[in-house]
Amino acid sequence: MARSAASRVLRDRNAGLYLAAVVITGFGTSAMWLTAGIWVKSLTGSDTLAALAVFAMWLPSLIGPALGTLADRVRRKPLLIRANLTMAGLLTVLLAVDSAERIWILFAVLVLYGVSGVVMDAAETALVAHTVDVRLLGDFNGLRMIAAEGMKLLAPLTGAGLYARFGGGAVALLDAASFALAAGVCALLRVSEPARPVRTDPRGDRAAGIRQVWRSPALRPLVLAGSATMLCAGLNGAAVYALVDDGLGHSPTYAGVLYAAQGAGSVAIGLLAGPLLRRLPERVFGAAGIALFATAVGVRALPYDTVALVASAAIGAGLPCVLIAAMTAVQRETPDTVLGRTAATANSLMMVPNAVALALGAGLIVVLDIRVLLPLTGAAGLLTAALLITDRWERPTAGPTDPVPSSTEA
């Protein structure tokens, strides 16, 4: 059944093209994420600046609700094409970064990189909801997650190899080529988009996504549960190297084995997400995934290789469930006029806690043994699952989620 549904998604022309674009840009982006920190470190010798390179790409997520407005103000297919081509051009500027004095160019491009990522994610989510059969949205989102995670496993090695042999400019050109190719793929999409609404109150525009998430009894619990789960995921991620060293007695490279097991779990749930979402309410699917993730985080503190590997696979299978459920609900429940902003808002609310928790966890593992931190994190995850399944985060709507625009642009 899972294979049949996945094949139906892949046979859909637009869905297949969307997934191809995800694979192409995901490969270049994953390579660039790793290389950016190495590049900064090699030119400046600063660990702090190297860490800030990754932070620069993530920073625009903080204003995701505002950036998502663009995906609701213009037609989304041309927006995807222009954004990809713009990034292809911007990345070639990095060929000028050859000294510490020019490192500011790299940081400026990385911030713009993050901006384009937020905008393109919002536009793509909205286009998918408009063009892919609603019954296949769960399958599509599962396959999209497989594509993105798969590139994270493969591309960093390519980026590191290119950097070691040819320098950062070669990785920038690889990434630029991936964006240019993705623009060509997006140009092949066959979509008929409605005219975009015109709004005169920019503050209302930016707040529409937040209102949609907060007032919707379907979206609010899932997004809040996703935020809490990603907070736990950040704490778990920060403890990985301490687990490998202090808990299992291996060298840091063993973390790669655990990440590979986690990736295998994510691939499995990506294939099963669609069929499961057709049989289970999104809230049940999300809560079950959170419970699996939380249990695996807690038992991972046990100092046994087999337990660590099985727990990593379970984390990979459980963690994406609430994210897939939340984004599928966003696509299904949100009016097209505010879908870009709502998708960007939901994504920011769920992803920002992960980055915050990574920083928090880095400090906690200095003062708190992982045999305490991981079980506590697992307990917090189980509480999150319980709150989601018992509707504790549900809030009755007080009125319409968003005003209907009175005019449209030609």
Instruction: Return the pLDDT at 89.
Output: 96
Residue 1 within any structural domain of the chain? no
CB 328 within 8 A of CB 141: yes
Residue 335 within any structural domain of the chain? yes
- Say which CATH number the domain at 31 has: 1.20.1250.20
Q: Do 152 and 57 fall into the same domain?
A: yes
Residue 115 confidence (pLDDT) above 50: yes
Secondary structure in 3-state letters for 328-377: HHHHHHCCHHHHHHHHHHHHHHHHHHHHHHHHHHHHHHHHCCHHHHHHHH
Domain count, the chain: 2
Domain-terminating residue out of 128, 163, 196: 196
Q: Do 111 and 206 fall into the same domain?
A: no
How many angstroms separate the Cα of 9 from the Cα of each of 6, 102, 137, 313?
5, 45, 9, 25
Residue 199 confidence (pLDDT) above 60: no
The residues with which 408 forms a beta bridge, in sequence order, are 197
CB 139 within 8 A of CB 6: yes
274-325: pLDDT as tens digits = 899 989 999 999 999 999 999 999 999 899 999 999 999 999 999 999 999 9
Q: Do 170 and 230 fall into the same domain?
A: no
Q: Do 216 and 77 fall into the same domain?
A: no
Q: Do 191 and 258 fall into the same domain?
A: no
44-92: pLDDT as tens digits = 887 667 767 777 888 888 888 888 888 888 889 999 999 999 999 999 9
Q: Supply the range of the domain harboring residue 17.
A: 11-196
Domain-terminating residue out of 196, 221, 237: 196
Listed range (231-240, 303-312, 390-399) with the worst mean pLDDT: 390-399
Instruction: Return the pLDDT at 402.
Output: 44
118-153: pLDDT as tens digits = 999 999 888 888 778 788 888 888 888 888 877 777
Instruction: Return the pLDDT at 181.
Output: 96
Long-range CB contacts (< 8 A, 24+ apart) of 86-89?
A: 86/116, 87/112, 87/113, 87/116, 87/175, 87/176, 87/179, 88/176, 88/177, 88/179, 88/180, 88/183, 89/176
257-275: pLDDT as tens digits = 887 788 889 888 988 998 9
Domain-terminating residue out of 196, 222, 253: 196
Instruction: Return the pLDDT at 79.
Output: 93
Q: Do 283 and 152 fall into the same domain?
A: no
Closest of 132, 126, 176 to residue 25, by C-alpha: 176
Q: Do 218 and 325 fall into the same domain?
A: yes
Residue 280 within any structural domain of the chain? yes
Q: Do 190 and 212 fall into the same domain?
A: no
Q: Do 17 and 129 fall into the same domain?
A: yes
pLDDT greater at residue 202 or residue 28 = 28
The alpha carbon of 171 is separated from its chain's Cα centroid by a whole number of angstroms, namely 22
